[in-house]
Structure 1
Amino acid sequence: MTAPQESTFADLGKVLVIIPTYNEAENVDRIVSRVRKAVPEVHVLVADDNSPDGTGELADKIAAEDDHVHVMHRKGKEGLGAAYLAGFRWGIDAGYDVLVEMDADGSHQPEELPRLLTALRTADLVLGSRWVPGGEVVNWPKSRLLISRGGSLYSRLMLNVPIRDVTGGYRAFRKETLLGLGMDEVASQGYCFQVDLAWRTVKAGFKVAEVPITFIEREFGASKMSKNILVEAMWRVAGWGVSSRVAKLTGKKG
């Protein structure tokens, strides 16, 4: 019988990695296995939006063989933001102290999770950043790089947040941070959801840290990015920025 492995991040408490899925049958087993190997003590929650390709059923089989893996079956495709918010609430109710966002497609490398968790020891939110020294993106066309870099710069300037990769989705939150953000007020989705949470974290006075990651374009399945997601992000961020500036001028809470 193998002796239980000592927890590397016991000082952070219980860690839950939330992986939203929709039609990720080609990726779900691979990504869960990599997470469990990278940091064996963490737990994984697969939040599946009733994938027609059977992703949820595959996740159930993985969970049946591993008590560190859990599955949330949602009614349908409601968006990335809704899936993460549901996962956050599930994790907090279940007693987890750290909640991590991670894509199912392998673009967020589980092997870099220890870097995020280590930085969380002195922060309230840690962002895996493509745009700080040491960060990089692999296999993206120049157009996608321009959109991502431009989106982060646009959001940073509009909202006056000191974050280089404000749109990135590889993140580790302390439970207390999420509880202090007003999650019930978050209605944004996709690209914009990540901006919203980062901005709320800064406004609430929490400490945010960025660590470099290597973002790798997915090998299997289709990207969920769309023109509608980008348009939503632009107009929402603009609205937030204007409202915040007006609030400052009028002395009201923005």
Structure 2
Amino acid sequence: MATTPDYHFIGTYTRYSSWTARIEILLSYFAIPHTKQFVPLEKAREVSTSGLVPTLTSRRLNTTITDSLAIAEFLAEENPQLPLWPRDAALRALARSAAAEMHSGFATLRNTFHTNFVAHYAGDIPVSDAARKEVARALAIWDAARSRTVQRLAELGELEGDEGFLFGGFSIADAFFWPVLWRIRTYNLPLDGASPAALKWIETMWNDPKIRKVIHSYYEQVKNPETHIAKYGGLFAEHGVKEETFPEDWTFRAEQV
């Protein structure tokens, strides 16, 4: 007889929601059993006492956690057998720092370039100096993470276990920067100055089979009219920018940049 999973995850549709997407990709990547409920953003107050999503409820603890970073930390604590954070203390500290900076920063990217996973905006999109600085900062974080990870794993004699993610294996840090990659692709934001290590991480993220499975779910959501948010369409139209759809089989290759 099947048992009901402990966790119940509530969010809004991830084709537009970076907050919900962070937790969805963690639950999916690590195959953490859960039930899931996605609702349109305007209905969040009907399913969440805080009026905000995502939320994660533990039936066992009769506790509901809000905020994506708090949920991620809870999942890591509750599932110590899974490497949601790196096993090594030094890399774990750096991964926490990177995820926290993403969680609290990058305001220009968040507020100007809205999450719209399956879309591509073609044309002369205005990119402010502030936005360029934030993209450059993200690229610097990714480069530093990969450089330090390779160094640290070599010190530990564990270099063969490096899977190419920010801190070796896929972790909360990768999940939190995942929506930034959406924005870079959706709005063709500049990758000028990206190091080979940063570009290789981007390639790893876009092409990982488990992540491709999550990507497929975004395209499936498009088939449901309930998922559509009109205000996220036609952005930058006053600049002659046209909204297109990325083909699902699109891939990223570091050597092509």
More strand by share: 1
More helix by share: 2
TM-score of the superposition, structure 2-length normalised? 0.27
